Structure 1
Amino acid sequence: MEENKLEAFWDGAVRGDAEAQFQMAMKYIYGDGVDEDNEKAVELLHKASMQGHIEAQYNLGVCYHYGYGTKVDYKIAFELYKKSALQGYAKGKCLVGFFYFHGLYVKQDYAEAIKWFLEAEEQNDAAAEYWLGVCYANGYGVTQNKAEAIKWYQKSASQGYPYAQKALEDILRM
């Protein structure tokens, strides 16, 4: 059954189906039914991304962000994250915020980061909620507020986000 599914994805990818290209790319990234091959994944993600596939755009951004199957390129990563974010993809919104928070490719801007984190949080993005907690815990772009930080860490931790769970433990000990 799994072999037939893999064959169907591959046939679709070869025919230019963006969803099939995305699914095959993810299989190459994780070595799911195929040998792990990040370069092949990047090639397929690029093809799907060019057709407007939002998750492919985001995941191709991840590849450029961390250098999976390609060289690290923050400019391309940011542009891909933003492209997915502007189409409503929560993870893309969070990563745009992350880039502003850390000043990767763009000028560091905590207020802009918070704007993107809040947009992602509206879609219950646990990572964005964690980063909002970080902002409130440390006064990045907002007035430092322990209660507000705890609120965001709890919201993120309740979704199983490990960094938020650790941050919540730490802030509650203070």
Structure 2
Amino acid sequence: MRHIALALLLILAGPGCALIEGAAPARTEPEPSPSAAERARAEVLYREGVRALNPPRGGTPDPDRAARLIAEAAHLGNADAQMLLAASHLYRPDGSRDTAAAIPWLERAAMQGHDEAQYRLARLIEAGDGTRREPAWAAVWFQRAAERGSSEAQFALGLMQIVGAGTTRDEAEALARLRLAERGGVAAATRYREALRRRVDPATAEAAWTRVQRERARGPVPAIDRPLVRFVQSVLAGTAFDPGPVDGQDGPRTRAALAAFAQREAIAGASPYAPAMIERLRAQAR
């Protein structure tokens, strides 16, 4: 059910549909994880909602009931329902869209590890569509989606790494990502991969290929992950504080650079990857 049919999205986005009014609550701190009971209840509601739209043969679709059920599932923490709710704001029958309303739902689904939500969120952040334009922060979400199997995200991140847009330039790693994107069916990746292959040393390319293939993630986004560490290293690499290689590996050198940055910015008492620290680094990257 991850890849939602366009017809389903258009039904959910129809005039008067309850999903259009399903605003995500504003949050200033991470959302608490749903309890096991809430997850189970949300899954039941989501499935009932989809069934209301696609009833067994002979049944009559009930879009309004589906909208209510899916909205309730989204509020209880179902990532697929949250993605649907976001899509109802992004894809409307009249061609209009409300990206600002969609983004909070994309963020909630993305934090739970929904790769499509992560990719869509990255696209909006990269373009500054409904939110501040932040290529460096978009790269974080592209990598998270890529590590969870999104070929489109691998392609997008690879292109960013070719030119060093939003992240440190790394042609060998970009080549590896383009190879994975091509394997995943992204036709446009072939042209870029063939052009880039001639510029990358074969041994370096093979090492990057081995490394990128191992970068796999599942489930909710942890407090510290490779994409976040890589973001921190990329930003700090452009300052006076040397974090070491931009490889997504958290270590003493990166921590020391973070501590020095925190001292310069007068961020007292914050842990190295605390939200206040990340926000300041995001501001640094803009």
**TM-score normalised over the length of structure 1:** 0.71
Matched, 1:106 2:155: no
Give the structure 2 partner of residue 5 of structure 1. Answer: 66
Task: Measure the CA separation in 2 of the matches of 1:75 and 1:89.
Answer: 19
Which structure shows the bigger proportion of residues in helix conformation? 1
Distance in structure 2 (CA, Å) of the matches to 1:140 and 1:19: 41
For residues 116-162 of structure 1, give each alpha carbon's deviation from its aligned partner in whole angstroms, at most 9, with x where no partner exists. Answer: 100111112123224225546xx5548xxxxxxxxxxxxxxxxxxxx
Q: Are 1:25 and 2:86 matched, yes or no?
A: yes
Of structures 1 and 2, the larger Rg is shown by 2
Instruction: Tell me the equivalent position of 1:132.
Output: 193
Separation of aligned partners in 2, 1:117 and 1:111: 10
Amino acid at match of 2:164: G
Unpaired segments ≥5 residues, structure 1: 143-174
Name the CA distance, whole Å, in 2 between partners of 1:102 and 1:71.
Answer: 21
Would you say the 8 A contact 1:101–1:108 is kept in 2?
A: yes
- Aligned residue number for residue 97 of structure 2: 36
Determine what percentage of the aligned residue pairs are the same residue: 26
CA RMSD of aligned residues (A): 2.4
Structure 2, gaps ≥5 residues long: 1-60, 202-286
Secondary structure (helix, strand or coil) at the match of 1:47 reads helix
Partner residue in 2 for 1:87? 148
Cα distance in 2, alignment partners of residues 7 and 41 from structure 1 = 17
Cα pair distance change 1:131/1:4, threshold 3 Å: farther
Q: Aligned pair count?
A: 141
**Paired position in structure 1 for 2:252:** none
Q: Are the aligned partners of 1:57 and 1:83 in contact in 2 as well (CA < 8 Å)?
A: yes
The answer for the alignment partner of 1:123 in structure 2 is 184
> Could you tell me how far 1:41 is from its partner in structure 2?
0.7
Quick check: 1:31–1:37 contact (8 Å CA) kept in 2?
A: no
CA distance in 2 between counterparts of 1:35 and 1:69 reads: 13
C-alpha change, 1:107 and 1:6, in structure 2 (3 Å) is: same
**Residue 162 of structure 1 corresponds to which residue in structure 2?**
none
SS of equivalent residue, structure 1 residue 69: coil
Displacement after TM superposition at 1:32 (Å): 4.9
Q: Which moved more, 1:59-68 or 1:108-117?
A: 108-117
Q: Is the 8 A contact 1:27 1:33 kept in 2?
A: no
Q: Which runs of 4+ in 1 moved over 6 A?
A: none
Task: Return the alpha-carbon distance in structure 2 between the equivalents of residues 86 and 58 of structure 1.
Answer: 11
Judge which range, 121-130 or 32-41, deviates more: 32-41
Distance in 1 between the 2:114 and 2:178 partners?
22
8 A Cα contact 1:64 1:76, kept in partner: yes
Alpha-carbon separation, structure 1, partners of 2:66 and 2:200: 48
The structural deviation recorded for 1:31 is 2.1
8 Å Cα contact 1:27-1:34 kept in structure 2: no
More displaced stretch, 67-76 vs 127-136: 127-136
Give the Cα separation in 2 of the matches to 1:129 and 1:10: 40
Distance 1:80 1:66, change over 3 A: same
| 2:158 corresponds to 1:97 | yes
